[in-house]
Amino acid sequence: MSGQPNIAAVVLAGGASSRMGRPKALLEWEGETLLDRHIALYSKVCRKVVCVLGYEAERVAQGLKRGDEALLVVN
């Protein structure tokens, strides 16, 4: 058993971001996407990170560098 508690993080990243014109999950911040940053942060304290994708799910999944570190599901 790892040193992480037996909890999971669920990151909701399925919105259309219609006012922004592109998925918020793919916004760059300090050299990485917003969703990659969330995956990295939650992975430090959670055993599993689940990212729920929706609108443009394939585009979001392909834009991630840390996608293999989380369970990506589509709503």
On the question of pLDDT at 1 being above 50, the answer is no
Identify the H or E element spanning 51.
strand 48-53
- Using one digit for the tens of pLDDT, what is the confidence trace for 2-56? 566 799 999 999 999 999 888 999 999 899 999 999 999 999 999 999 999 999 9
Q: What was the pLDDT predicted at 65?
A: 97
Burial tier of 58 (Cβ tally within 10 Å: 0-12, 13-18, 19+) = exposed
Distance of CA 21 to the CA centre of its chain: 19
Beta strands in 4-47 (DSSP E): 8-13, 28-29, 32-33
Are 29 and 37 spatial neighbours (Cβ–Cβ below 8 Å)? yes
Q: What was the pLDDT predicted at 4?
A: 67
pTM of the full predicted structure?
Answer: 0.89
Q: What was the pLDDT predicted at 5?
A: 76
